[in-house]
Chain A
Amino acid sequence: MTQPIENTPSTPDSSKFFGMSPLPYEEKLKIIQNEYSPKIHKIGIPIAIIHIFIMFLPAIYLLAAYGVWPGGGTILNAVVPLWAVLGVIYFIEPLQYYLALGTVGTYVTFLAGNGPNVRLPTAVATTEVMGIEPGSPEAEVVAGISIIASQWLMAILILIAALSITWVIGILPPVIVKAFDFLAPALFGGMLVYVGMQQWRYMAIAVAASILLYFAGVPSILITILLVFFMIALSYYFYRKGIWVPKKIVSAATEDV
C-alpha cells in the first residue's frame, strides 16, 4: 500500500485523493528513494540492534540481581519448539507487511508489534481519511506518520492498562485471586480450539498423538518437540498431496484475537 509503485502517477485533481501533493510523481519518488528511505534505514537499523540487547534485559536482570539462571538446556527446551513453530513466520511476516506498512511501518511493527490488529487498520484508515492515494510517495509518508502516532497512543494506553489492572488485581477478594490458578488452563484450552478450529483434523491428530506419547512414557519436554516436528512434517506432506488444504489460513503468531 505504501510502497511507491512505478508507472502510477498520482492524480492531485481527483476528488477522492484530495490530499495529494501537486508536485510531479517522479520528483516525489526521487525524494522518497534518495533522501527519505536512506535516512529511515540509518535510524531503523541501529535502533533495532539496540532493541535486541534490550529484549534480554529482563532475563539478565533476574540473573544479575537475584542470581536466577535456569540453565541453557532448560531454556532451549522451551525455545526450540517455538523456533520450529515460527521458523518460516519470521521471514514471511516482514515480507507480507513490508508492502502494506512501508519502511517506517515495518520498523515500528517489528520492534513494537501489533501489526495486523493496530498498525495496518490505522494506516489504511488514516491514508483514506487524508485523501492520499495508496501506493503513492505521499502514502509512504502519511502511513508512516500514522503508525508512529499509533505507537505513541499504544504506549500510553498500555501503561495505563498495566498500572490500573495491577491495582485492580491487588484489591480483588482472595477467592477471585485464587481463581487465577485456572487462567492458564482456560486460556490454553480456548486457544487450542481457536487455532485448531481452522484445521480441526490437525487438532484431533495433535491431541491424540500427545496423549499417545504421554502414555508411552515419553518425557514431557520431549513430547512438545516431537509433536511440533511431527505436525510440521504431516502438514507439509498433506499439502503436497492436496489433503485437507484449507481455503484460508490465518497466522496465530502475530494475529491477536
Chain B
Amino acid sequence: MELEWLKVLSSPGMWIIAFITVGNSIIQTLLFFRVSKKTAVQIGLKKEVVGNTIKTAFVSAFGPAMSSFIGMVVLVAALGGAVAFIREGAGIGSIIFEFAIAGAGANAAGATLSREGMTLTAAAVILWGMALTCVPWVITGGVCARWLPKLKDSFLSKKPQLMTLVSTAAMIGMFGKFSIDYAVQPLKTGSFATPFAFLSGAIASFLWVKLADKLQKPALKQYLMLVMVAVGMIVGQTIRSLTGQ
C-alpha cells in the first residue's frame, strides 16, 4: 500500500510543479543562449564554434552529471521522484544539504525520515524548509549577480578559509545532533536496528574515503553515498530481522 505522504509528494500536481520549476531554468538558458549565440558572432568567433561548444559540453558534462544519479537514487527513495526532480533539476544545494534540511524538517515536525516514520506535515516542513534555505542563494547569486564584482573585495572574500571553517563546523554540529536522533534515542525504546544502520553508515563512509585516498582514486568518492546507504540499509534490515523488531 502506498504511503499517504509519498502519494501526495508523487501526485500529478507535484509533477506539474516539478516541470514548472525545471522549465523556468530551461527558459532562462534558452534566453541566455539567444544572446550568447549573437554575441559569439559579434566578437568574431567562427560560425561552427557555438555548435561545437554544445557538443563538447554534452560530452564534458555527461560524466559529472551521471554522478548526480547516485544522489538521485537516495533522494527518490526518501522523498519521491517529483521532489527529487525539482531539487536536482533546479535546486541549489548538494545532496548533503538536501538531507540536512530533510532531517531537520522531519525532526522539527516530530517525525523521522523513513517511509513509515514520515508524515504529510513533516513533508510540508521539509518543502517549506527547502525553499526558505535556498532562496538566499537565488538572491545573492541571481538577483544580486550584477553587483558581485563590486562585492569581491569585501570582508567576506578576505578570509574565505575562516568562513568555510565556521560553516563546516556548524554543519558538523547539525549532523552531530543526528547522532542523538538515530543512534541514542532509538536505544531508549530498545530498537537496535537504527543505531546499527547509523554506525555502519559512518564506518562505511570512513573506510571508503580512506580506501579512495589509499588507492589514490578520488573518483571512487563518487560512489561514497551509495556505499554508505547500501551498507547501512543491509545492516539495519538484518538486525531488524534477527531481533524481530
Contact = CB atoms under 8 A, between A and B. Distances in A.
A58 B128 CA distance: 8
B138 A48 contact: yes
Interface in B47-82: 49-50, 52-54, 56-58, 60-62, 64-69, 71-74, 76-78, 80-82
A24 to B, nearest CB: 9
A51 B170 contact: no
A86 B167 contact: yes
Contact of B56 (A68, A130, A178, A232): A130
Given A88-B163, A117-B68, A224 B91 contact: no
Contact of B66 (A111, A157, A234, A251): A157
A111 B93 CA distance: 10
B116 A181 contact: yes
A175 B238 CA distance: 10
Contacts of B46: 19
A121 to B, nearest CB: 5
Q: Interface extent on B, as a size class?
A: 35 or more
Contact of A227 (B85, B163, B173): B173
A62 B127 contact: yes
Contacts of B37: 145
A78 interface: yes
Nearest to B151: A95
A192 B169 CA distance: 11
B215 interface: no
Please provide the 9 A-B residue pairs with the shortest distance between their CB atoms, ordered closest to farther: A186-B232, A110-B141, A48-B142, A206-B176, A182-B236, A190-B228, A21-B44, A186-B201, A235-B169
B33 A145 contact: yes
A254 interface: yes
Interface centre among B36, B52, B71, B151 (most CB of A within 10 A): B36
A239 B235 CA distance: 39
A194 B168 CA distance: 11
B89 A55 contact: no
Interface in A144-179: 144-155, 157-159, 161-163, 165-166, 169, 175, 177-179
11 contacts: A88-B163, A89-B167, A104-B36, A144-B36, A153-B58, A161-B76, A178-B115, A192-B175, A197-B206, A239-B165, A245-B161
B83 A45 contact: no
Interface in A95-136: 95-99, 103-104, 106-114, 117-118, 121-122, 125-126, 129-130
A48 B39 contact: no
A168 B67 CA distance: 19
Given A59-B131, A65-B13, A257-B95, A92 B164 contact: yes
B77 to A, nearest CB: 5
Contacts of A180: 77-78, 114-115, 233
Given A75-B129, A91-B140, A227-B173, A188 B198 contact: yes
B217 interface: no
Contacts of A78: 101, 104-105, 107-109, 125-126, 128-129
Contacts of B175: 188, 191-192, 195-196, 206
Contact of B133 (A82, A166, A211): A82
Contacts of A169: 76-77
A138 B56 contact: no
B148 interface: yes
A227 B176 contact: yes
A144 B32 contact: yes
Interface in B1-50: 8, 10, 13-14, 17-18, 20-22, 24-29, 31-33, 35-37, 39-40, 42-46, 49-50
Contacts of B100: 82, 85, 191
Contacts of A87: 167
Interface in B90-115: 90-97, 99-109, 112-115
B118 to A, nearest CB: 9
A190 B182 contact: no
Interface in A179-218: 179-199, 202-203, 206-207, 209-211, 214
A184 B182 contact: yes
B198 A98 contact: no
